[in-house]
């Protein structure tokens, strides 16, 4: 049985980037529904007892969609903190600068990929086994683990993630999210 992930911050700690109201709907209703749905679908599927990542890599249809959304949201919600935490000098920052020339150039491409994703989905920064980084656009509930990548950072571009706060201004929401990223979490995922 999967459970709704506990948030590592208070309901209003991410304001004004993510309002308490948005967080309540996004985490408390949307993510809870994915958890409830997956728990109903798993019995008899042959996937019981597997880790979420393994379910996402093996499942199809409704099980894949709900498991993927749980995995995606768990990574999404645990990458934030009140006021954000800066990216320190180290392996991840060095790799970003090596590949994009600057952190700002990386941010620009990441946001552009999020804005450019047609419909609903996710934009990801992931790592290959050799440490090289890649930005991917993942439609629906897809996750980079299905391609053998290690997901590091994600921005949710489903409208339920931002509509209450930003209406249809996806780009504004993506730009604002940088303010609350806890880069210490992303660096740990990279190691």
51: helix, strand or coil:
coil
pLDDT reading at 158 higher than 80: no
pLDDT at residue number 3 = 97
Q: Where in the chain is the domain with CATH 1.10.287.990?
A: 20-77
β partners of residue 134: 126
Over range 131-143, report the average pLDDT: 96
pLDDT at residue number 140 = 93
C-alpha 25/C-alpha 156 separation (Å) is 14
pLDDT, tens only, 2-58: 999 999 999 999 999 999 999 999 999 999 999 999 999 999 999 999 999 999 999
pLDDT at residue number 163 = 78
Per CATH, the homologous superfamily of domain 91-190 is: Iron/manganese superoxide dismutase, C-terminal domain (3.55.40.20)
Over range 94-103, report the average pLDDT: 98
Does residue 13 or residue 164 have the better pLDDT? 13
Q: Which helix (H) or strand (E) holds 33?
A: helix 32-41
pTM here? Answer: 0.94
Q: How would you list the strands of the sheet with 133-139, edge to edge?
A: 133-139, 121-127, 150-156
Least confident of 6-10, 73-77, 167-171: 167-171
85: helix, strand or coil:
strand
C-alpha 108/C-alpha 149 separation (Å) is 22
Does residue 122 or residue 166 have the better pLDDT? 122
Q: Where in the chain is the domain with CATH 3.55.40.20?
A: 91-190
Residue 27, both tokens: 């985490």
What does DSSP assign to residue 146?
Answer: G
124: helix, strand or coil:
strand
Pick the CATH number of 20-77 from 3.40.50.410, 1.10.287.990, 2.130.10.10, 3.60.15.10: 1.10.287.990
C-alpha 185/C-alpha 109 separation (Å) is 21
C-alpha 173/C-alpha 167 separation (Å) is 9
């Amino acid at each position: 049985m999967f459970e709704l992930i506990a948030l590592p911050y208070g309901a209003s700690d991410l304001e004004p980037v993510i309002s308490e109201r948005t967080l309540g709907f996004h985490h408390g209703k949307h993510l809870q529904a994915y958890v409830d749905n997956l728990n109903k679908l798993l019995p008899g599927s042959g996937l019981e007892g597997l880790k979420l990542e393994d379910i996402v890599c093996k499942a199809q249809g409704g099980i894949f969609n709900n498991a993927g959304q749980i995995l995606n949201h768990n990574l999404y919600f645990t990458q934030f903190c009140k006021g954000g935490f800066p990216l320190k000098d180290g392996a991840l920052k060095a790799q970003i600068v090596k590949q994009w020339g600057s952190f700002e150039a990386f941010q620009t491409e990441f946001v552009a990929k999020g804005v450019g994703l047609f419909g609903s989905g996710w934009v990801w920064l992931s790592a290959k086994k050799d440490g090289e980084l890649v930005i991917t656009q993942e439609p629906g509930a897809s996750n980079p683990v299905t391609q053998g990548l290690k997901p590091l950072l994600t921005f949710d571009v489903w409208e339920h993630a931002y509509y209450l706060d930003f209406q249809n201004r996806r780009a504004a929401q993506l730009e604002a999210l940088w303010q609350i990223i806890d880069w210490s979490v992303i660096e740990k995922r990279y190691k």
